Amino acid sequence: MSAGTRPAATTLRFRARPAGHVLEARGLSRAFGGRTVVEDVSFRVEPGRMTGFVGANGAGKTTTMRMLTGVLRTTAGEVLWDGRPVTAADRAGFGYMPEERGLYPRQPVLDQLCYLGRLHGMDRRAALAEARRLLERLDLAGRERDPLGTLSLGNQQRVQIAAALLHGPTALVLDEPFSGLDPVAVDAMTGLLRERLEQGVPVLFSSHQLDLVDRLCDSLVVLSAGRVLAAGAVEDLRRAGPRRHRLRCEQDAGWVRGLRGVRAVDVDGPDAVLELDDDDARRRLLRAAVERGLVEFAEIVPGLADVYREVTR
């Protein structure tokens, strides 16, 4: 290679992400006693992307996660891993945190994690070392010898997280992993998940905490009454909703109501939230606003709570 064609040093600094696999639900359905609770559910969990799974109580999140992990059989549809039907061996590599936390209350924390690591094929030393590292990261270093049941519920939850992460999972499916955690534990957990994302692991987690989902997720799946209402990159979902603007003037903003091409979503004293038909409407609005002492005009970036409300309306 001549000096002229040598790649610049800066390009060499990029560290290639290990290629991970896509976990995909394709047309998943599940009925219990003739009642369909999950119907034709399709979405992708991309490698290295944190995907939030949201929906009202009973929407079918747990049922879907159980089908993804093979705990529950599908009535129809299939789960794909790396583009082909998932196998039991593939699933053995997944990390799953079930809704019903399934560890043994009487067994000491470290023994239990070590046992689970060995079930996943780790040797004892590796399982112990990784269990200790995770417990340390989750601020449970002093509790290794304590029976799980003597820990507070939040701390038992931290141990469940360690159990899901222990064997270096190829995919993570986590059913409400953040519920009941204090903010410090949420941060510790987030840090551990980000490590896995960096390694190209696809992560799916369900949650009712939309603020948390907003803060953490790259992608989102919204489920309602067993069906997918929206799925995709968070940025795309934000853009798909109505574009809204915030306006503040020195006087009451009620005058915006009569303006052509302008829809007042909310008017509260000098503040208004507006949807505009086009650039002409925007120009008309701004001209009128300047005459009334324009203080602020800005596009509103919708939070995930807004996106959720919009798609579930």
Interface residues with ligand ATP (CB under 6 A) are: 32, 37, 55, 57-63
Roughly how many angstroms between the first and final C-alpha of the chain, as a whole number? 60
CA atoms within 13 A on the CB side of 148: 20
Minimum Å gap between C-beta 215 and ligand ATP is 20
CB-wise, 62 or 112, nearer to ligand ATP?
62
Strands 84-85 and 76-81: antiparallel
Minimum Å gap between C-beta 56 and ligand ATP is 7
CA dist 77 and 117 (Å) reads 31
Minimum Å gap between C-beta 179 and ligand ATP is 10
Contact 206, 176 (CB under 8 A): yes
DSSP string, 22-53: -EEEEEEEEEETTEEEEEEEEEEE-TT-EEEE
CA dist 133 and 103 (Å) reads 19
CB-wise, 32 or 104, nearer to ligand ATP?
32
CB-wise, 2 or 57, nearer to ligand ATP?
57
CB-wise, 95 or 226, nearer to ligand ATP?
226
| Both tokens assigned to 53 | 């799974």
CB-wise, 11 or 57, nearer to ligand ATP?
57
Minimum Å gap between C-beta 217 and ligand ATP is 17
CB-wise, 52 or 60, nearer to ligand ATP?
60
Minimum Å gap between C-beta 176 and ligand ATP is 7
Is the CA virtual torsion 281, 286, 291, 296 positive or negative? positive
CA dist 83 and 303 (Å) reads 32
CA dist 274 and 1 (Å) reads 58
Minimum Å gap between C-beta 17 and ligand ATP is 31
